[in-house]
A and B are shown apart, each in its own frame.
Chain A
Amino acid sequence: MAYVTDALPQPVLAPSYDDEFVQERHQTWRKFKRHRLALTGGFVLLLMVCGAVFAPWLSHFDPNAIDTHWQGTPLAPGQFGHWLGTDEIGRDLYTRLLFGARISLTVATFAVVIEVVLGTFIGAIAGYYGGRIDGLLMRLTDTFLSIPLLPLLLVLTGIVAASSSKASLNFSSIVLIIGLLSWMNVARLVRGSFLSLREKEFAEAARAIGCRDARIVAKHLLPNAVAPIVVQATLDVGNVILLESVLSYLGYGIQPPVASWGSMLANAQENITIAPWAAIYPGLMILITVLAVNYMGDGLRDALDPNIQ
């Protein structure tokens, strides 16, 4: 039985402390490089970013313009220069996919930044001070974790949509709503690492020489808690892309005519019998992007986690 022999303890090599930091960073990159799928994921993501940034130069169609050849039915792939065809009102699918990448990637980036800042802040306070504050903040975290996220997001976007018009559901309100409701995992992570970090000698030393709390947290504790935050943030980029797409699909996200992968799918559903391509490609883009992000996050986890050799 092979698995029994695998259990022998691995020899622990004594680390050399010269140039530890440089070595560590070098090692992280080496480990990440070894994770071939993560590397591929990073490359695919880079391609997506390039596609999003250079979208106007990568296609000679306008994402919102209706093709003059369009006569009520979607143009099939290959017709009149639309190599992925058009959607149900004759807009070039390939161009809309490129512009959709802009929405997905920027919503995800900004929402994750908000989420990480908020989560780190709450987690740091809870973990550093402990006691009652910790108890209170963790109950707050539990509260938000117990409410299913999608319905809550829908209610909030619904409120924004109802308060003036659907058009007010623009980019920044979506980003803000998603960011403000997904900080819980980061908060828990940061709290966990802070609870153990604050007991370490270097934290005590910093306290002993009279550092203010803010300085201890920012200069001494936070840098030691970065690795799990980075991994979580990467994985959350994928989650936010999925969330944005489902919101837009249900009509409570990015509003038409702006191209978003989710809203493109909502329109495609009605025409799934005559234009299946319009339903396939946007979803494929979401899948590929999120897959790339998740593989990258997995690689980062392996590379940054000191417990995995």
Chain B
Amino acid sequence: MLNYTIRRLLQAIPLLIFISIILFTILHYMPGGPLAPYMQNPHITAADIARLKHNFGLDRPVWIQYVSWLGNYLKGDWGWSTMNSTPAKDAILERLPATLELMGLSYAVAIALGLVFGIIAAVKPYSLVDYFVTTFAFFGFSMPVFWFALMLQMLFSVKGFHWQAFGYAFDYSFPSAGMTSTEGGGFWDRVQHLVLPVLTLSMLLLATWSRFTRASMQEVLHTEYMRTAAAKGLPFMRILLKHGLKNALMPVVTITALSLPGLFSGAIVTESIFAWPGMGRLFIVALGQQDFALLMAYLVLSAILVVFFNLLADLAYGWLDPRVKYD
């Protein structure tokens, strides 16, 4: 197991280097390259550009630039963000917690609901719940995320709830933007700001995961060890959750890890709609400003996280299924 972990970690290194080479090359061909923001400034002459190019070492061959970028990256220098005039690393890491909060909560909500929906649908196939789950899943992954977010904003923020009954008036609307109110606000305020973005982002995952859990659980329900467990007279919930779920989880673990790149994409959209101060929104702004270092830092960091979680999923496999041999 330890050997396997180490070997997989070692395999991840060339993969990440490969990814960074591709990303570096692509970004390098951005017109103007890292100096693009200066190109549009009329006060900066061609001679200045040439001088900057030389100072930043941009007149060297691409591969040398890449090697020096890699060296700096490993040393913790992720380049200079021209947009913020700060190191790119600070700009990204400052936004990372907000994104992780959003993504982590969406992940948790989607896992919890996806498992519950999927299991119920599998246990009672062709029941009302099953039809609901299946239909919901199809709608979920056929829906443009940003439109779903817009509709949520329209219904719950712009329109809000206005009820009147028995002499009581109830007025509430969810905040449509930001992480907290402008005056700050405590825990409850943050929760209110989280509801709509988390709903948006978890919808994307929930659709796929509930369908996947259903399929996987149904397969497990028909196995002989489940029949044996039932024949032994074990209580139903115990058979379902102990013997069934653990086996049904295996493909689900894989799909949750594979969903991560999609989650980053979803977070970009969700964050820009709900003005969530995370990495994704920073990325969109950096794209408009052609901030080379920030774009590169974002792309590489998300790739590292994706590779890392895929590795974690592979290791979780061994924990769930002792038959998997790591050698």
Contacts and interface: CB of A to CB of B under 8 A. Distances in A.
B283 A246 contact: no
B262 A148 contact: yes
A32 interface: no
Contacts of A159: 26, 29-31
A288 B241 CA distance: 37
Contacts, number: 154
B52 interface: no
A234 interface: no
B221 A265 contact: no
Interface stretch (B60-68, B188-196, B298-306): B298-306
A143 B150 contact: no
Contacts of A1: 230, 236
Contacts of A148: 261-262, 264-265, 299, 302-303, 306
A160 B272 CA distance: 22
B295 A287 contact: no
B227 to A, nearest CB: 5
A273 B158 contact: yes
B23 A294 contact: no
Contacts of A194: none
B15 A139 contact: yes
A151 B290 CA distance: 13
Given A147-B23, A148-B306, A159-B31, A4 B147 contact: no
A154 B287 contact: yes
A294 B208 CA distance: 13
A32 B262 CA distance: 30
A5 to B, nearest CB: 9
Nearest to A149: B265
Residue of B142, B158, B295, B306 with highest tally of chain A CB at under 10 A: B142
Interface of B: 14-15, 18-19, 22-23, 26-27, 29-32, 36, 123, 138-139, 141-148, 150-151, 153-154, 158, 221-224, 226-227, 230, 236, 261-262, 264-265, 268-269, 272-273, 283-284, 287, 290, 295, 298-299, 302-303, 306-307, 310
Given A7-B227, A150-B265, A279-B154, 19 more contacts: A3-B221, A7-B221, A7-B224, A139-B14, A142-B15, A143-B15, A146-B19, A146-B307, A146-B310, A148-B302, A151-B298, A152-B299, A154-B283, A155-B299, A162-B290, A279-B151, A286-B143, A287-B144, A295-B138
6 contacts: A139-B15, A140-B18, A146-B306, A162-B36, A279-B150, A283-B144
